[in-house]
Amino acid sequence: MSKRLQALSAQLDTPLLVTNLTNVFYLTGFDSSNAALLVEPGGGATLYTDFRYAESARSVPDVDVQMTKRAMMADVGARLKGRVQFEADVLPYLEWERLSSGAAELVPTSGLVDGIRAIKDDEEVAKIAKAARIADRGFEALTAETFVGRSEREIAWRLRELLHAHGADELSFETIVASGENGALPHAHPTDRIVERGTLVTVDWGVRVDGYCSDCTRTVSTGGLPDKLREAYDVCLAAQKRACANIKAGMTGVEADALARDPITDCGFGENFGHGLGHGVGLAVHEAPRLSTESTDTLEVGHIVTIEPGIYLEGLGGVRIEDLAVVREDGVDLLTSFPKELIEVS
């Protein structure tokens, strides 16, 4: 039985029906759009899927494969009995109704697989590091090109081409290119706005390689910045570096967040940093753990997290600087390496 299935079953006192497809993939390597996995405390596992995936399901080791109808939950529900935990954070209400039409007593739970998935083994770290390297190179090529006079959408599209040319399988999320006032929106979509001189351009991008994601943000200058934007950049960079230098295993998500938040607040920009410091990255671009003022997580060796403070000034612009890091006993190893000192693009 795989290490991952073993680790999960060792934590169970009640069977768990895994319906998050990324979790099913993580536990079994089975990649499909329709599956559920019942994991027993004793170590047994049953994989449910439909006819379309029959052949690939049979090659999954250590699981008993059962075929269901394509609309599977009523069918699965009819085969379960006794107490069964389900992933309450991902199972839609209608599916829950279908599942409950059977004899099982359904018990809501969340975070069981996610907690295991958050800790990356060496092979996973290598894959994410590779994705981060490809992303770095694609962005480096972009910064050699002209920004001023091109639209945000053009730049996002060009970066996508460069990332593919450097070996990305696909983007891990829609690239953000936010210039001028748009930089004040943390999750801006690229628009037809033309990048002007004398401002900041925030680019947040990531790629997927071998199933694993990267995530990085850099903010570049188009020269001659207003003082306030220059100050925001310097404060954000110092805070980001402080967090990178001090985050380590054993720290809570709240403590990690404070490493960057405190100096930003002390410089008067506290109100302008309205999101958490970071999140886990792996098979999904946002996963456990969370680094924020509301986090309930504690950092562990092998977590891969982003460190991404930002300062957003309405009507003026914004800055965010994001690295991807592996948490170690006494610090972090950065997987992103593009320079963080403010660079000027043409």
Distance CA 227, CA 199 (A): 11
Positions that interact with Zn ion (CB under 5 A): 204, 215, 217, 306, 322
- What tokens does 148 get? 């001023």
HEC string for 94-149:
HHHHHHCCCCCEEEEECCHHHHHHCECCHHHHHHHHHHHHHHHHHHHHHHCCCCCC
Non-local CB neighbours of 248 within 8 Å, separated by 6+ positions: 299, 327, 328, 329, 330, 331, 332
Taking the complex as a whole, the smallest distance from the CB of residue 175 to Zn ion amounts, in Å, to 9
Taking the complex as a whole, the smallest distance from the CB of residue 215 to Zn ion amounts, in Å, to 4
Taking the complex as a whole, the smallest distance from the CB of residue 278 to Zn ion amounts, in Å, to 7
Please, which residue, 28 or 219, has the CB nearer to Zn ion? 219
Distance CA 26, CA 123 (A): 13
Please, which residue, 27 or 332, has the CB nearer to Zn ion? 332
Taking the complex as a whole, the smallest distance from the CB of residue 322 to Zn ion amounts, in Å, to 5
Residue 231's H or E segment, with its range, is helix 227-246
Please, which residue, 27 or 129, has the CB nearer to Zn ion? 129
Please, which residue, 95 or 322, has the CB nearer to Zn ion? 322
**Contact by Cβ (8 Å): 250, 332:** no
Taking the complex as a whole, the smallest distance from the CB of residue 83 to Zn ion amounts, in Å, to 37
Please, which residue, 98 or 279, has the CB nearer to Zn ion? 279
